[in-house]
Structure 1
Amino acid sequence: MFASAFLAAADRPLSPGFEHFYNLEYTESISSFRAEVAAQPNSPDSWNHLAQALLYSEMFKAGALESELVSGSNPFVRREKMNPSPEVAKQFDDCLNKALQLTEDRLSKNPKDVASLYSSGVAYGLRANYNYLVRKAWMDALKDATNARKMHNRIIEVDPSFVDARLVQGVHDYLVGSLPWHTKMLGFLAGFRGDRQEGLRNLKLVSEEGNLAKYDAKVLLAAIYRRERRPLEALPLLESVSQRFPRNYLFKLEMVQMYSDAGNKQAALTILDRVESLKKSNAPGASLPFEKIWFYRGNLLFWYRDYDGAIECLRRVTPDTSALDLHTAVVTWMRLGQSFDAKGKRKEALEAYRQAIKTGPQTDAAKESQNYIGSPWKRLT
């Protein structure tokens, strides 16, 4: 989540690299940012842009850009490990090392260089996300996130009107405020108690008045509101970014989840109908596989206790899950098993659970499915 605070969107026209980036077109975005690096090799921003495109491309492939991967069960600081190729990992490290070297050189000459402070915070934030998602080095990630906070604190000291720097403060306050007390005792967190509400206030400020990070603040707020079960507050934010970046289908799928959480089944299904219609017409940006749409529909119907409808949709997905990220593929099998259990079809349920375990043995959904081998799934509420 933390690295989402370090993108570069604004109301002004975006560079081609960022237009592609925000519309999930990562191959084109990476190509554009490579050209930017070649043209401006001494700009730390160029290296940061390429690093974040590389990172988010891997996150997208792994399904990590979907806020809770529709299960709604993962804790705030928990996420399955990503596994980028050694080549991508090296490129990412090289980009951030170059960005940090450039900013350190500039800050050694002028410690109040706001642009370099901002770029340094961006690099630390991206590395925090990498440490968390790829290396699973939680303490290193938190340390880098804190370094990003310190850099952007210095911006506010120099220029209190630099609203965008408050995004990092907001994310850090919310994150630290969500930690258990014993973690807050770590030495590098000295002076940072964390305050979830203050964090939300800063994010809201940037979403309304920011320049470089306005859209990022909206996305972050929507993700937080979802985790806090405040879907009606998330929906206007998602609608705003969806209109600005119409080829980003994840925003539409997040709206499906928000309407579902809000109890508006029909609105959620209407959006899915629209997404499927765009896919059938080969509209720009409708690059998601049909299997993803059918999964979302089946998952929605499952939560609304329409188990027959859920089974019909999920059975359309299971013949070939290769187009899905691993988590979604495993959850598809688990939801199918749960739906069969709800209908009293134990044999079919067991087959589905075993497929979930076989598909991704180390995933949370596979481990949950293992529990249902011994005893049928039962809805608690």
Structure 2
Amino acid sequence: MTFRIALLASVAGVLAAQTGDPLAKGLAHFYNLEYDQAEAEFRREIRDKPAEPGPHNRLAQAIQFRELYRNGALESELVSGSNSFLRRPKVEATPEIEKQFFDAIEKAMSLAQARLDKNPNDTEALYSLGAAYGLRGNWNFLVRKAWRDALRDGTEGRKLHNRVTELDPNNYDARLMQGVHDYVVGSLPLLYKMIGFLVGFRGDKDEGIRTLQGVAEKGNRNRVDAQVFLLALYRRENRWKDAGPLLDRLIANYPRNHLFRFELAQMHSALGNKEQALAAIREVERLKSSGAPGYAKLPEGKILYQKATIQFWYRDYQESLQNFRRIEQNVDDLDLNMGVLTLMRIGQIHDVLNQREQAVAAYRRAIAFAPEAEAAKESRRYLSSPYRRESS
């Protein structure tokens, strides 16, 4: 998330309603997980401003995040947990979608470079070119699993945005990529930091978070992006109390984004507030049953998964198993990551309940469901060594 003009939702909503501006409407759709509508608005923006690189970047971003969402890769347990950055599950995209993404990126890059050929200090062109590198790096990492290419693109984008802040020290938006890059590189094992194109970038997780905090407070285009990034990193670092105010703001500004409400439930769960966590899930259930925008078509299995997971961690095994079993009945309706995690959890609960035969059967179903997923690999280990939890 390295480029979007991140107007506050209230402002974006007013602009969209009053002016019909495709940028404002596209951003409102984007942050509310309505990626098809966002894509349509950004394509309209391209028709209105064909020579500007920014709209092409926004189109690429909408395409990218639609695929991440479709694959279940936006759920925070998958994108911001404690697993290594180098072990993220692969996102599947069709050749047609991949072509659409790269066509948009290449167009943004060519338009930005044409401006830089005329004026190397054009900060807007430097910014757009850096953003395009960042987006391409995300795709290389999450879709192609080409982590070297991803780090190379991210580093090139960071250099371009460094140049923006050299020319304009008050440009907080360009610091977003700097903060993310510092955090990611700071999280890498020492061996990877010795790669040639990373020389000179030692990385620093704490500094990266401080930079993002600055963007979240003082940024213009990337203020919301920085808030979302911080939310993910606070979760990764178990800094849930810092996440609370951000969640309140994001839920208020983007009421159709159910992921923020799921994150609220996970925050309460992590802080030991079981009843508040379940209450947050019940609110999502209420919104779905009332047909609220953004919730009416939310699959019941996604809600049950959140509830069952909370019950699992609080050792309410029978209730958790009952809900995971309900999900299993329609597991093919879920993305692969959530589906395989559901099956693995069923196996783990049976192991905890000393029901080894049922546990092994569930692990085998998890492995067959998504053989390359991390949860499938973990399930293979439980075939020979039963899952055990430490006493609370």
TM over 0.5: yes
Give the match for residue 6 of structure 2.
9
Give the match for residue 342 of structure 1.
352
Q: What TM-score comes out, normalization by structure 1 length?
A: 0.96
SS in 2 for 1:284: coil
Unaligned runs of 5+ in 2: 13-22
Amino acid at match of 1:242: I
Task: Please show how residues 1-381 of structure 1 align to structure 2 within 5 Å.
Answer: 4-11=1-8, 12-13=11-12, 15-69=24-78, 72=81, 74-286=83-295, 287-381=297-391
Distance 2:383 2:36 in 1: 41
Deviates more, 1:254-263 or 1:97-106: 254-263
Deviates more, 1:123-132 or 1:285-294: 285-294
Instruction: Check whether the contact 2:31–2:257 (CA below 8 A) recurs between aligned residues.
Output: yes
Alpha-carbon offset, residue 349 of structure 1 = 1.7
Distance 2:181 2:34 in 1: 28
Amino acid at match of 2:233: I
Q: Alpha carbon RMSD of aligned pairs, Å?
A: 1.5
Distance 1:349 1:333 in 2: 10
Distance 1:179 1:367 in 2: 22
Amino acid at match of 1:243: A
Alpha-carbon offset, residue 97 of structure 1 = 0.5
Instruction: Check whether the contact 2:3–2:221 (CA below 8 A) recurs between aligned residues.
Output: no
Deviates more, 1:119-128 or 1:61-70: 61-70
SS in 2 for 1:47: helix
Distance 1:193 1:268 in 2: 38
- Tell me the alpha carbon deviations over residues 107-161 of structure 1, each in whole angstroms, 9 at most, x when there is no partner: 1111111111111111011001000011111011001101111111111111101
Amino acid at match of 2:292: A
Alpha-carbon offset, residue 46 of structure 1 = 1.1
SS in 2 for 1:68: helix
Amino acid at match of 1:340: H
Q: What TM-score comes out, normalization by structure 2 length?
A: 0.93
Alpha-carbon offset, residue 189 of structure 1 = 1.7
Amino acid at match of 1:98: K
Distance 2:45 2:198 in 1: 36
Distance 2:79 2:105 in 1: 32
Alpha-carbon offset, residue 181 of structure 1 = 2.0
Give the match for residue 18 of structure 2.
none
Amino acid at match of 2:6: A
* Identical residues among aligned pairs (%): 51
